[in-house]
Homo-oligomer: A and B are copies of this chain.
Amino acid sequence: MTLSLGDGRPILAFDVGGTDIKSALFDAGGHALGVERTPTPLAGSETPVALTARLAELAAELTSRFPRTTPTAAGVIVPGIVDSTRGIGVYASNLGWHDAPIRELAADALGMPVAFDHDVRAAAWAEHLMGGARAFDDVFVMVIGTGIAGSLIVDGRLHPAGGYAGEIGHSPVAGGSECPCGAYGCLETVASAGAIARRYTELSGHTTDGARAVFARAAAGDTVATAVVDAAIDALVLALAQLTAMLAPQAVVIGGGLSRAGDALFEPLRTRLDARLSFHRRPQLLPAQLGEDAGLLGAAIIARERTDAAA
């Protein structure tokens, strides 16, 4: 990671996913030291305790490797429904917890103040401060990968709504199918990178290297790939049209694996969204800029912002 947060307190940062933990120590210059991925310990109902114990081990390794940098706080971000105000992991299908007091467990395990939030919200906040969403006070940041998640920034502030806002991936669209979340017609059943690859395989009988490969086949004239990509883009356009009508954000910043399809994604999104609207104010559709580092940067940022400098 070459980006710097700028000067400030040294911070431990942990971006916890369903399979990996990304960890790093940010120094006083805001540079990430010792960035690495390690497996997330999954232990059923004991996952919160096993996870936070693992964070303490990673912290000990980082501070012993970089003895001149002494962190004063940590940022921990996780997927699912996250109540950042109360410090609770409300629900995460991959991690299996319900109402887990992760912030408190992590603070106890690490022995320092912890800022705790949702992974995509933290990433969106980093994009707002340093990346593709920098120019906008009203902006929706969405990440299209295995699933589709998002975060709202309203009047220059994150708007979590108790952890439930931004779930565009679980917004119903025409053509959607049954979703593991329990609802049906969710956007991410058609338009996530995972869905695009899976639907192509189902319809063509061919395995694929993922959504970008399906985009490449569509560009080469494969009719099945074209149909799958078209359906995904139409579903995204519908969800973005609804978002535009309701919230009229100045911009929608799109990250995640699918955003790397570049113009093959953004050009038809822009054209078809424009055609779907009338008097509405069109949002700018822009790529995220921080890539996979956004979460870790966001974790470090919220730790600097939300923990007490005196601690």
Binding site for B on A (CB under 8 A): 81, 91, 138, 150, 152, 154-155, 157, 159, 161-162, 164-168, 170-172, 174, 179, 181-183, 238-239, 241-249, 276-281
Contacts and interface: CB of A to CB of B under 8 A. Distances in A.
A93 to B, nearest CB: 9
Contacts of A157: 155
12 contacts: A154-B159, A155-B155, A161-B247, A167-B280, A168-B245, A168-B246, A171-B246, A172-B242, A181-B279, A182-B278, A182-B279, A239-B242
List the 3 shortest-distance A-B pairs measured between CB atoms, nearest first: A182-B278, A164-B248, A171-B245
B248 A161 contact: yes
Contacts of A277: 183
A105 to B, nearest CB: 22
B162 A241 contact: no
Contacts of A162: 248, 281
Q: How many copies does the complex hold?
A: 2
A247 B245 contact: no
B167 A246 contact: yes
A166 B243 CA distance: 10
Contact of A91 (B241, B247, B279): B279
A238 B172 contact: yes
Contacts of A138: 161
A179 B278 CA distance: 10
B170 A245 contact: yes
A172 B276 contact: yes
Contact of A170 (B91, B247, B278): B278
Contacts of A164: 244, 248, 280-281
A307 to B, nearest CB: 23
Nearest to A241: B172
Nearest to A175: B174
Contact of A241 (B171, B276, B279): B171
Contacts of A247: 152, 159, 161, 165, 246-247
Contacts of A167: 245-246, 248, 280
A243 B227 CA distance: 28
Nearest to A164: B248
Given A183-B276, A242-B242, A249 B161 contact: yes
Contact of A174 (B174, B183, B279): B174
A162 to B, nearest CB: 6
Nearest to A138: B161
Given A171-B242, A183-B277, 11 more contacts: A91-B279, A152-B246, A159-B247, A161-B248, A167-B246, A168-B246, A170-B279, A172-B245, A182-B278, A239-B242, A246-B246
